[in-house]
């Protein structure tokens, strides 16, 4: 039987005070050692890793050390992709990003004017090509923020794959994108292959989870009335990401099983690079939470590597 593909996407970026606003001076990368150690464990399991890197990371000393180390030791198992955090990525435009704290709306690159979104991504693309010797072909928008111009821009800059879709999520309450009508199915847009970050529903009843994961309208119908809401609660329905950030092995195993049953052929497991270090992200504020995150990571990867094929997006081309 053909195995489902598994890609690991690390949002590779600065440490970030996620409640502290979007500030162009917040560019500190001090988790290079921890990230490297964590990744080496995963690479030794046979995993492939896509580093979706932002401007702060690729211009930092520790970030460049990580890139060099991976190229020297694991070149066959890693891919370098682009991750646009527009608030730290030049060129800066007075009107849209040249202030200490920008509006949340402008933290989603897809909300910028097309020329500025393109100019920022072009600079990041060139920088990654200069450091790695290869122009990136995979893109992850900062905060999943793809917009109406993004796919055209990606196509013009030579990108082939986008991994910015976060199924079932709706970020409109903070001026972000709306993916509530997207499930985990891959599709092509403007010549760009869109492969969603794996995220979906689990339940005590597997077939219910499958039904919810198959069609985004199904949850809307149940959620629309009190009886439906009670059923969802009683049957343990919850939305889970394929990520060690707040989700354990049991939850992720159920998600993988349901997505696989519903025909998803390419899974994306993801987390933030800063989560590798105590205090680096909201998921690892205590020693216990760091240990839990590492445990979630090694548990699920040990389990699912036997039923999936490690995959890099660049190898799909």
Burial status of residue 62 (CB atoms within 10 A of its CB: 0-12, 13-18, 19 or more): middle
Q: Which residues of 19-58 are buried (b: 16+ CB within 10 A; e: fewer)?
A: eeebebebbebebbebbbebbeebbeeebbbbbbbbbbbb
CB proximity list for 42: less than 8 A, separation 6 or greater: 8, 49, 297, 301
Closest approach, Cβ 52 to Zn ion, in A, equals 8
Closest approach, Cβ 165 to Zn ion, in A, equals 15
- Cβ proximity to Zn ion, 197 vs 254, nearer residue: 197
- Cβ proximity to Zn ion, 11 vs 277, nearer residue: 11
Nearest to 70 by CA among 110, 40, 114: 40
- Cβ proximity to Zn ion, 232 vs 268, nearer residue: 268
Report DSSP letters for 236-304, one per residue.
Answer: T-EEEESSSSS--HHHHHHHHHHHHHTT--EEEEEEEGGGGSTTSSGGGSSHHHHHHHHHHHHHHHHHH
Closest approach, Cβ 22 to Zn ion, in A, equals 11
Cα angle, residue 157 at apex, residues 73 and 185 outer, rounded to 5°: 75
Closest approach, Cβ 13 to Zn ion, in A, equals 5
- Cβ proximity to Zn ion, 13 vs 79, nearer residue: 13
- Cβ proximity to Zn ion, 5 vs 11, nearer residue: 11
Which stretches of the chain bind Zn ion, using CB under 5 A?
11, 13, 142
Closest approach, Cβ 219 to Zn ion, in A, equals 26
Closest approach, Cβ 46 to Zn ion, in A, equals 26
User: DSSP 3-state assignment of 1?
Assistant: coil
Q: Are 193 and 316 in contact (CB under 8 A)?
A: yes
- Cβ proximity to Zn ion, 62 vs 298, nearer residue: 62
Q: Which residue is nearest to Zn ion (CB)?
A: 11
CB proximity list for 28: less than 8 A, separation 6 or greater: 14, 15, 56, 60
User: DSSP 3-state assignment of 92?
Assistant: coil
CB proximity list for 40: less than 8 A, separation 6 or greater: none
Closest approach, Cβ 207 to Zn ion, in A, equals 35
User: DSSP 3-state assignment of 222?
Assistant: helix
Nearest to 262 by CA among 193, 181, 166, 198: 198
Closest approach, Cβ 143 to Zn ion, in A, equals 6
| Residue whose structure tokens are 């889970």 | 240
- Cβ proximity to Zn ion, 18 vs 217, nearer residue: 18
Closest approach, Cβ 171 to Zn ion, in A, equals 13
156 token code pair: 């013009």
- Cβ proximity to Zn ion, 84 vs 256, nearer residue: 84
- Cβ proximity to Zn ion, 20 vs 133, nearer residue: 20
């Amino acid at each position: 039987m053909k195995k489902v593909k598994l890609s690991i996407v690390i949002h590779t970026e600065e440490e970030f005070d996620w409640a502290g606003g979007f500030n162009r001076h917040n560019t500190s990368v001090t988790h290079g050692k921890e990230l490297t150690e964590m990744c080496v464990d995963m690479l030794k399991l046979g995993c492939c890793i896509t580093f979706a890197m932002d401007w702060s990371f690729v211009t930092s000393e520790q970030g460049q050390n990580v890139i060099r180390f991976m190229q020297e030791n694991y070149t066959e198992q890693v891919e370098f992709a682009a991750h646009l955090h527009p608030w730290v990525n030049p060129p800066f435009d007075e009107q849209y990003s040249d202030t200490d704290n920008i509006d949340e709306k402008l933290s989603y690159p897809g909300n910028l004017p097309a020329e500025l979104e393109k100019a920022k991504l072009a600079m990041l693309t060139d920088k990654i090509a200069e450091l790695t010797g290869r122009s990136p072909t995979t893109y992850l928008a900062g905060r999943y923020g793809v917009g109406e111009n993004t796919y055209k821009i990606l196509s013009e800059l030579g990108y082939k794959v986008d991994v910015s879709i976060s199924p079932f999520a709706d970020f409109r309450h903070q001026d972000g994108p709306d993916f509530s009508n997207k499930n985990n199915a891959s599709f092509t847009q403007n010549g760009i292959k869109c492969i969603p970050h794996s995220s979906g529903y689990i339940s005590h009843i597997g077939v219910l989870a499958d039904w919810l994961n198959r069609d985004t309208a199904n949850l809307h119908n149940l959620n629309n009335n009190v009886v439906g809401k009670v059923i969802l609660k009683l049957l343990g329905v919850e939305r889970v990401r394929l990520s060690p950030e707040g989700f354990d092995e049991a939850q992720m195993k159920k998600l993988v099983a349901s997505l696989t049953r519903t025909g998803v052929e390419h899974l994306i497991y993801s987390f933030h690079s800063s989560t590798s270090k105590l205090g680096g992200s909201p998921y690892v504020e205590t020693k216990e939470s760091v240990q839990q995150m590492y445990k979630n990571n090694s548990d699920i990867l040990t389990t699912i590597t036997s039923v999936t094929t490690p995959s890099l997006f660049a190898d799909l081309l």
